[in-house]
Amino acid sequence: MTIMKNQVMVRWHYIRRQPAIPPTGHRPRVWDHLGIVQSSILIKVTTARPIRHVTLLIVGLLVVGTGASSSEGARAATLGLVHQAPAPVKTAPELIVERLSLDRFKDNVSQLAGFGNRYWRSDGNRRARDWIQGQLESFGYAVERHEIRIAAPLDQLLTTGEDSVYATKIGTTRPHQMYIVSAHMDSFNTQSPDNTFAPGADDDGSGTSLVLEIARVLASADIETDVSVRFIFWNAEEIGLVGSRTYVRDRSALQGLEDPPGSGDFPEPVWLGVIQHDMILFDHGLPDPQTGLVADRQIAGADVDIEYDAANTSGGAAIALASSLLDANSKYAPLYPAEVGQFMCCTDSVPFAPFVAAISIRENERRAEIGRGANPHWHKSSDVFATYRDEDFRLGFTAVQMTAGAIAELAGARVPGQ
Ligand SMILES: [Zn+2]
């Protein structure tokens, strides 16, 4: 608060972290419309005569009383009248999460569903794979592929012609260790018997888009991580986790090996944790027991589900990893909450679980909710971009913010220039 000869200038510093887009059910407040995240409002009162301190107090209380309807807001406003706190220094995870784009997240889903079919061995699958590779290369990554080979008679391995795609942000201090952030790029549709149409917007265009968006932001030349982060787009998940199973089979023994020796290159850094994303848009509750139908709109209690496998926690490391994600949700993803469950199932983190901390991120619990019909578009022709509303994409974007914040913390991200 500044006092001049006959003016009062009250600076109201509003310090609550506020989403740019309010979640559904959130009571609109004046600062939503102003788009304030962290801001100040300057109120100048000019009077004819010099102002006494009593007058200042009355003006101050008036501002608090009329402007701040919530106790949180009132507290912030009151603090602003007492002293003006310096703007807090942002942490590296906060700076990284700020660079994520909801529009890009949506656009990626639209692109992926637009291939029309990403069923393994289809032309659409190969075009989608090449598009993902092109995106990663445009961010500046050297892209690698893991060729899928499956068991055949006489102990041979047959090449299926399918590849998973991956790119790595190489750590600056511990490049020989890494976290894996992943999703499956293939799709499946039970309503297309000849496997010619499987748009897979949510399953798993949404998870694939998340991995692309985090890869884009972490690619920035001004961001460094202590350990490496590998972004993997699994192929052939829908026919039995084939991409991830064969990756674990082929590459587990290569962990931490420098190749060639003395080169400083570690083709397969030691696995520290795997965060898989599989369907992150749609939380409309369970089907109505009477009608069997799922609500058209997102439920009020919509959240992000983090799951580990209670039978395979890697000595508790998977639970610790899940906790890191939950913590990151509260710090970096203000739109929706998250919760942790212990029944991870049926996605590409499963083959890793016996060896390393492995979790999955989903719109619902895989067994208790998705498995009981919570998403009527799952493996259906209706899993197209237009099926999902803005609120569905905001739920998905919450997972993007959560994983980005968590991986920035876990990988020791720094933004040296800031
Ligand atoms: Zn899936």
Which domain CATH number covers 272?
A: 3.40.630.10
144 CA from centroid of ligand 1 (Å): 22
Q: Residue 399: what residue type? A: A
Asked if residue 303 belongs to a domain, the reply is: yes
pLDDT of 57 reads 43
Arithmetic mean of pLDDT, 261-275: 97
How many Å apart are CA 213 and CA 220, to the nearest integer? 12
391 CA from centroid of ligand 1 (Å): 20
Residues counted in the chain: 418
* Same domain? 54 vs 144: no
How many Å apart are CA 52 and CA 157, to the nearest integer? 88
* Same domain? 9 vs 152: no
pLDDT of 161 reads 82
Q: Which two tokens stand for residue 251?
A: 């590459």
303 CA from centroid of ligand 1 (Å): 18
What residues have CB less than 8 Å from 12, skipping those under 6 apart? 40, 41, 42, 43, 63, 67, 77, 80, 81
How many Å apart are CA 350 and CA 360, to the nearest integer? 9
Residue pLDDT, tens place only, 170-201: 999 999 999 999 999 999 999 999 999 999 99
How many structural domains are present in the chain? 2
Residue pLDDT, tens place only, 211-253: 999 999 999 999 999 999 999 999 999 999 999 999 999 999 9
pLDDT of 22 reads 44
327 CA from centroid of ligand 1 (Å): 25
- Residue 82 pLDDT class (50, 70, 90 cuts): low
Q: 323 or 27: whose pLDDT is higher?
A: 323
Asked if residue 87 belongs to a domain, the reply is: no
Q: Which of 30, 51, 82 is the last residue of a domain?
A: 82
**Residue linked to tokens 């990403």:** 118
pLDDT at 113 over 50: yes
238 CA from centroid of ligand 1 (Å): 7
* Same domain? 203 vs 151: yes
98 CA from centroid of ligand 1 (Å): 28
The domain in which residue 249 lies consists of 92-410
* Same domain? 374 vs 310: yes
Distances (CA, A) of 232 to 19, 116, 162, 208, 304: 29, 22, 14, 9, 21
264 CA from centroid of ligand 1 (Å): 36
379 CA from centroid of ligand 1 (Å): 9
279 CA from centroid of ligand 1 (Å): 6
375 CA from centroid of ligand 1 (Å): 12
Percent above pLDDT 70 for the chain = 80
19 CA from centroid of ligand 1 (Å): 29
CA dihedral 212, 399, 405, 80 (to 10 degrees): 130
The closest alpha carbon to 41, from 51, 52, 56, 30, belongs to: 30
140 CA from centroid of ligand 1 (Å): 28
Q: Which two tokens stand for residue 81?
A: 């009248």
Residue pLDDT, tens place only, 114-165: 999 999 999 999 999 999 999 999 999 999 999 998 887 777 788 888 899 9
**Residue linked to tokens 């139908």:** 293
Asked if residue 202 belongs to a domain, the reply is: yes
Arithmetic mean of pLDDT, 371-380: 90
203 CA from centroid of ligand 1 (Å): 5
pLDDT at 45 over 90: no
347 CA from centroid of ligand 1 (Å): 7
How many Å apart are CA 241 and CA 70, to the nearest integer? 49
pLDDT of 148 reads 93
Q: At what angle do helices 207-218 and 102-114 cross, to 10 degrees?
A: 130
* Same domain? 109 vs 197: yes
How many Å apart are CA 379 and CA 315, to the nearest integer? 34
Asked if residue 118 belongs to a domain, the reply is: yes
180 CA from centroid of ligand 1 (Å): 17
Helix, strand, or coil here: 198? Answer: strand
162 CA from centroid of ligand 1 (Å): 17
261 CA from centroid of ligand 1 (Å): 38
* Same domain? 105 vs 19: no
* Same domain? 19 vs 107: no
Asked if residue 418 belongs to a domain, the reply is: no
pLDDT of 392 reads 98
The closest alpha carbon to 359, from 249, 207, 189, 202, belongs to: 207
52 CA from centroid of ligand 1 (Å): 67
Find the range with the poorest average confidence among 112-126, 289-303, 358-372. Answer: 358-372
380 CA from centroid of ligand 1 (Å): 12
pLDDT of 322 reads 98
pLDDT at 61 over 60: no
Q: Which of 82, 112, 133 is the last residue of a domain?
A: 82
Asked if residue 155 belongs to a domain, the reply is: yes
- Residue 69 pLDDT class (50, 70, 90 cuts): very low
SS3 content of the chain, % helix, strand, coil (to 5): 35, 20, 45
Arithmetic mean of pLDDT, 293-311: 96
Percent above pLDDT 90 for the chain = 72
DSSP letters spanning 129-154: HHHHHHHHHHHTPPPEEEEEEEEEGG
Asked if residue 417 belongs to a domain, the reply is: no
Q: Which of 45, 60, 82 is the last residue of a domain?
A: 82
pLDDT of 78 reads 46
